[in-house]
C-alpha cells in the first residue's frame, strides 16, 4: 500500500479539486442523519419520506382522487410558517400546525394527514418541523421542481402560535401586510403564492362558496378543482395559464370576493407573473423563496449549514466484539453521484488504535446490484453506489490489541487508486465501547452484551434511547450497571443487560471522566434470535 503523506495529499487535492468542499466531517450524528434523510431517497438504504410522493399523484390515507400528498405537504409547510412575525420573532416553521387545526384558515384534513404520515420520520436528530420542511422540499424536488436548500435544527413548538395564515376573502392590502409580517415583499408574495399553487387545488367540500360546482360524486373525487392543468407537476403552468386566460384556478376565475390569486398575481401589473413565462426564472425564484419559507423559524432557533451531499459517506459503521476476543467491523459506504462500474474496486483501510498503519489493514469491499440509490431534483436523477464492509458474511476481523482508530477508502476505477479520506482527516471510530456478539433478541426482550475496553476507568455506562411522548421523539437514558462483568476474556469486559423497551434506534454511551464514547445507532432488527 502506497500512501502519500497526509499533508501532501491535502495539498494535492486542494490543487486539483478546488471545487470539492467538505460538507462536514464524519461522524456527526445530527448532520449524518440530516444528510441521509435529505439525500437517500430511493433504493438501497433509502429513507421513507419520498414514498408518499412517488408517484406524485399518490394520496395516502385519503379516500379521494384529485388530491395528492405532494400538495398537502407543501401547503402544510407554508401554513405552519405563516404565523411568523419578523418584528417579534415569534412563530414560524416549528410544527405548531399540530395545535392550529381549529383555526378557520386551516380547514380540511390535509394538515392532519401530513403530520400523521411524516411524524414517524422525526427522531432525536431531526425534529418534526425539520421533517415538515423536508417533506415540502421533497414534494417539490420529486415532482419536477428545482432543488431547494435545506438546513436542519428546527425546534418543535409545544403549543399553537398566534393565528396568521392568509384567507382568500381578505383584500390585497391585508395580504400584503400578512406577507410583510412574515418577512416577504409584495413581489415575493406573488412568487410564493404562484410557486405554492402549482400543486393542488381548492376543494368544493371545504370551500363551496369558491368551488360552487359539486363534482364530488363524479369519478369519486373531493371536488378539488386544480390551480393549473398539471396539479401534480411542479411547473410554470400556474403562471402561463393565468396570463393566457386559459386558467381554471378557482382563486382567479371564482367569485370576485375570494379571487385572492387574481388580486395578488396582478398587483404589480403582472410583472412578476410575466417573468415566470421563463421556466428557469420560475424555478430559481421558487427555489429561493421556498428555502426562505422553510428557514423562517422563531427567533433564537439556530439552523445548521445547508445540508450538502457527502461525496463519500460511511453509514452504520460499527464494531462488534466477538467471543474469541477479536473485533468485527461492519458498515456501508455510499459513493455519491456515480454509477455501477465493473472496473471499480473499493477498499476500506484503517490505522490501528495507536494510529499506526498495519499489515493487512485493508479490505476489499463488496457490492451487489441492489446497492444503488437515487435522488431527484431539477428534473435530474443522481445515482449513488454503495459498497459494504460485509461481503456475504465476510467482514474485516481485527485483532483486538491492534484494533482500529481511523479508516478511509481507496478506490480504483482503472486509472490508479484514489484515496477518499475526508481531505486527510480520515474517518474516526472509537473502540472503547461496543456491542458484543452474544447480543440477541427474544420477542420484545433485547439482551445486550456490552464490551468495555479494559484499562480505562469508566464512570458511567448507559443507553440513549427514544420514546414517543405527545407524538414526538424524546431522548431517554437507561443506565447499565457495571457491577460484575459476565465475561472478561481478552482485552474487554462484557456486561450483560436486558431491556424490552428499545424500539427505535438507540446507542450505547460510555463516560470516562468528562470524555464520552458512543456507538453509532443500533436497531432491534440487526440482532439475531436468542435460541
Ligand X SMILES: *[C@@H]1O[C@H](CO)[C@@H](O)[C@H](O)[C@H]1NC(C)=O
Q: What is the b/e burial string over 484-516, where b = at least 16 CB atoms within 10 angstroms of the residue's CB? A: ebebeebbbbbbbbeeeebeebbbbbbebeeee
Contacts of 505 (CB under 8 A, 6+ apart): 123, 466, 521, 522, 523
Which one of residues 32, 72, 94, 141 is an interface residue with ligand HEM (CB under 6 A)?
72
SS (H, E, C) 369-396: CCCEEEEEECCEEEEEEEEECCECCECC
Q: Where does residue 31 fall: left (phi above 0), alpha (psi -120 to 50 degrees), or beta otherwise?
A: alpha
Please choose, from the candidates 507, 498, 492, the residue with its C-alpha nearest in 3D space to the C-alpha of residue 458. Answer: 492
Q: Cβ of residue 68: shortest distance to ligand HEM, in angstroms?
A: 7
End-to-end alpha-carbon separation of the chain, Å?
43
Give the three-class secondary structure for 117: helix
397 binds, among ligand X, ligand HEM, none (CB under 5 to 8 A by kind): none
d(CA 308, CA 31): 10
Which one of residues 260, 285, 439, 520 is an interface residue with ligand HEM (CB under 6 A)?
260
- Number of chain residues interacting with ligand X (CB under 6 A): 25
Which one of residues 445, 479, 501, 523 is an interface residue with ligand X (CB under 6 A)?
445
Stretch that binds ligand HEM, among 146-154, 162-170, 267-275, 413-421 (CB under 6 A): 162-170
Stretch that binds ligand X, among 118-126, 187-195, 213-221, 292-300 (CB under 6 A): 213-221
Report the length, in residues, of the chain: 531
Q: What is the b/e burial string over 301-323, where b = at least 16 CB atoms within 10 angstroms of the residue's CB? A: bebbeebbbbbbbbbbbbbbbbe
d(CA 344, CA 365): 10
Residue 453 engages ligand HEM in binding (rule: CB under 6 A): no
Residue 447 engages ligand X in binding (rule: CB under 6 A): yes
Show the site string, 185-214: x = touches ligand HEM by CB under 6 A, - = not: -------xx-xxx-xxxxx--xx-------
Q: Supply the Cα-derived Rg of the chain in whole angstroms.
A: 26
Separation in Å, CA 132 to CA 383, 398, 452:
25, 43, 39
Show the site string, 500-519: x = touches ligand X by CB under 6 A, - = not: x-------------------
CB nearer to ligand X: pick between 393 and 514: 393
Stretch that binds ligand X, among 10-18, 96-104, 240-248, 341-349 (CB under 6 A): 240-248
93 close to 132: Cβ distance less than 8 angstroms = yes
d(CA 445, CA 422): 39
Residue 262 engages ligand HEM in binding (rule: CB under 6 A): no
Show the site string, 75-94: x = touches ligand X by CB under 6 A, - = not: ----------x-xx------
206 binds, among ligand HEM, ligand X, none (CB under 5 to 8 A by kind): ligand HEM
CB nearer to ligand HEM: pick between 148 and 335: 148
List residues near ligand X by CB under 6 A. 63, 85, 87-88, 181, 213, 215, 218-220, 242-243, 245, 266, 269-270, 330, 390, 392-393, 401, 445, 447, 498, 500
List residues near ligand HEM by CB under 6 A. 67, 71-72, 74-75, 78, 108, 110, 166-168, 175, 192-193, 195-197, 199-203, 206-207, 224, 260
Amino acid at each position: 500500500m502506497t500512501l502519500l503523506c497526509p499533508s501532501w495529499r491535502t495539498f494535492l487535492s486542494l490543487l486539483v479539486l478546488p471545487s470539492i468542499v467538505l460538507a462536514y466531517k464524519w461522524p456527526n450524528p445530527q448532520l449524518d442523519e440530516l444528510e441521509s434523510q435529505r439525500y437517500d431517497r430511493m433504493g438501497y438504504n433509502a429513507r421513507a419520506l419520498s414514498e408518499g410522493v412517488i408517484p406524485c399523484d399518490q394520496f395516502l390515507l385519503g379516500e379521494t382522487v384529485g388530491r395528492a400528498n405532494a400538495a398537502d405537504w407543501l401547503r402544510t409547510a407554508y401554513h405552519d410558517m405563516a404565523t411568523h412575525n419578523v418584528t417579534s420573532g415569534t412563530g414560524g416553521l416549528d410544527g405548531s400546525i399540530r395545535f392550529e387545526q381549529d383555526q378557520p384558515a386551516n380547514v380540511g384534513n390535509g394538515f392532519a394527514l401530513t403530520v400523521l404520515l411524516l411524524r414517524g420520520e422525526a427522531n432525536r436528530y431531526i425534529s418534526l418541523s425539520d421533517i415538515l420542511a423536508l417533506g415540502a422540499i421533497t414534494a417539490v424536488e420529486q415532482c419536477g421542481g428545482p432543488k431547494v436548500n435545506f438546513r436542519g435544527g428546527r425546534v418543535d413548538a409545544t403549543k399553537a402560535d398566534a393565528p396568521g395564515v392568509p384567507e382568500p376573502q381578505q383584500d390585497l392590502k391585508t395580504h400584503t401586510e400578512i406577507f410583510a409580517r412574515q418577512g416577504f415583499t409584495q413581489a415575493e408574495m406573488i412568487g410564493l403564492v404562484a410557486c405554492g399553487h402549482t400543486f393542488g387545488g381548492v376543494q368544493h367540500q371545504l370551500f363551496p362558496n369558491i368551488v360552487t360546482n359539486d363534482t364530488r360524486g363524479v369519478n369519486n373525487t373531493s371536488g378539488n378543482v386544480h390551480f393549473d392543468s398539471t396539479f401534480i407537476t411542479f411547473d410554470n403552468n400556474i403562471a402561463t395559464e393565468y396570463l393566457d386566460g386559459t386558467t381554471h384556478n378557482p382563486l382567479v376565475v371564482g367569485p370576485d370576493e375570494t379571487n385572492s390569486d387574481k388580486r395578488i398575481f396582478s398587483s404589480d401589473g403582472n410583472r412578476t407573473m410575466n417573468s415566470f413565462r421563463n421556466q428557469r426564472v420560475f424555478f430559481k425564484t421558487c427555489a429561493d423563496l421556498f428555502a426562505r419559507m422553510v428557514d423562517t423559524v422563531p427567533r433564537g432557533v439556530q439552523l445548521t449549514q445547508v445540508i450538502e451531499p457527502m461525496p463519500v459517506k460511511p453509514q452504520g459503521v460499527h464494531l462488534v466484539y466477538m467471543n474469541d476476543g477479536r473485533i468485527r467491523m461492519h458498515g456501508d459506504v455510499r459513493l455519491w453521484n456515480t454509477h455501477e462500474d465493473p472496473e471499480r474496486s473499493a477498499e476500506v483501510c484503517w490505522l490501528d488504535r495507536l494510529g499506526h498503519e498495519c499489515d493487512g489493514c485493508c479490505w476489499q469491499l463488496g457490492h451487489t446490484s441492489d446497492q444503488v440509490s437515487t435522488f431527484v431534483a431539477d428534473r435530474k436523477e443522481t445515482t449513488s453506489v454503495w459498497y459494504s464492509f460485509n461481503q456475504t458474511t465476510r467482514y474485516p476481523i481485527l485483532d483486538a490489541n491492534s484494533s482500529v482508530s481511523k479508516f478511509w477508502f481507496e478506490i480504483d476505477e482503472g486509472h490508479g487508486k484514489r484515496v477518499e479520506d475526508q481531505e486527510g482527516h480520515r474517518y474516526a471510530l472509537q473502540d472503547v465501547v461496543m456491542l458484543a456478539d452474544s447480543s440477541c433478541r427474544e420477542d420484545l426482550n433485547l439482551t445486550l452484551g456490552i464490551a468495555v475496553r479494559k484499562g480505562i476507568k469508566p464512570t458511567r455506562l448507559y443507553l440513549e434511547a427514544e420514546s414517543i411522548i405527545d407524538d414526538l421523539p424524546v431522548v431517554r437514558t437507561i443506565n447499565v450497571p457495571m457491577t460484575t462483568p459476565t465475561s472478561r476474556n481478552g482485552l474487554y469486559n462484557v456486561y450483560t443487560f436486558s431491556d424490552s423497551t428499545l424500539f427505535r434506534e438507540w446507542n450505547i454511551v460510555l463516560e470516562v471522566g468528562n470524555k464520552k464514547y458512543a456507538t453509532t445507532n443500533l436497531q432491534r432488527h440487526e440482532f439475531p434470535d436468542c435460541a
